[in-house]
């Protein structure tokens, strides 16, 4: 028996679009195109009314405000959502356990389906709820592993002396992780003046006052 009923189709299908960082917005266009293409998938499944929520582009799912996700939850509670559609796996909708369980709870209460590229899920059915819960747990574990690997990579670069998160004023980072003097002559002259005045005035505070004057 199909999980999509006429009641679901009378409500809208909401396509939730998200990318975590500004860098992804600039460099990863394909993932965004795939997410917007879910409008066609929703229509192929029978929905005539499809709404796209893309307020959270460039926003991480970990611990910061996501107005798009909040708008999605509000629409679900109002009974306007027949299905929530997301790419790859449904748990991409929420990148932490609290948000994921909240989404499942709301969808189960008002009979809203969750659709991803693998299939259609009804959070009211125990088997689907179990599978969705496992997807959320695996997603959290995957995110934790990514963070752990990134941190270890930073530590390895630091051990080699190649980790430069910031560069002191007066220097610039060049190719091959080299640090060189800033080629801007005005910058060089300003820094040289600081050292000249420090030699003359003997205290940083006096140099600061002199610079301000």
Supply the residues annotated as catalytic: 20
Closest CA to 45 of 93, 73, 16, 5: 5
Tokens of 196: 């000249």
Rounded CA-CA distance 85/90 in Å is 8
Answer positive or negative: Cα dihedral of 6, 7, 11, 17. Answer: negative
Answer positive or negative: Cα dihedral of 137, 138, 142, 148. Answer: positive
46 CB-near residues (< 8 Å, 6+ apart): 4, 9
């Amino acid at each position: 028996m199909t999980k999509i009923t006429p009641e679901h189709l009378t409500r809208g299908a909401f396509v939730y679009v998200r990318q975590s960082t500004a860098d992804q917005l600039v460099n990863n266009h394909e993932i965004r195109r795939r997410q917007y293409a879910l409008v066609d998938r929703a229509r192929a499944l029978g929905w005539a009314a499809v709404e796209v929520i893309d307020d959270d582009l460039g926003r991480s799912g970990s611990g910061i405000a996501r107005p798009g996700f909040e708008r999605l939850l509000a629409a679900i509670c109002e009974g306007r959502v027949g299905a929530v559609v997301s790419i790859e796996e449904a748990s991409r909708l929420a990148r932490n356990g609290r948000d994921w369980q909240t989404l499942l709870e709301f969808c189960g209460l008002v009979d809203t389906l969750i659709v991803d590229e693998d299939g259609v899920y009804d959070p009211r059915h125990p088997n689907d709820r179990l599978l969705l819960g496992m997807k959320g747990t695996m997603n959290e574990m995957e995110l934790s592993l990514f963070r752990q690997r990134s941190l270890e990579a930073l530590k390895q670069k630091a051990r080699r002396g190649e980790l430069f998160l910031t560069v002191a004023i007066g220097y610039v980072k060049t190719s091959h992780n080299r640090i060189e003097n800033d080629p801007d002559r005005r910058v060089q002259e300003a820094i040289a003046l600081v050292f000249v005045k420090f030699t003359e005035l003997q205290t940083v505070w006096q140099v600061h006052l002199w610079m301000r004057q």
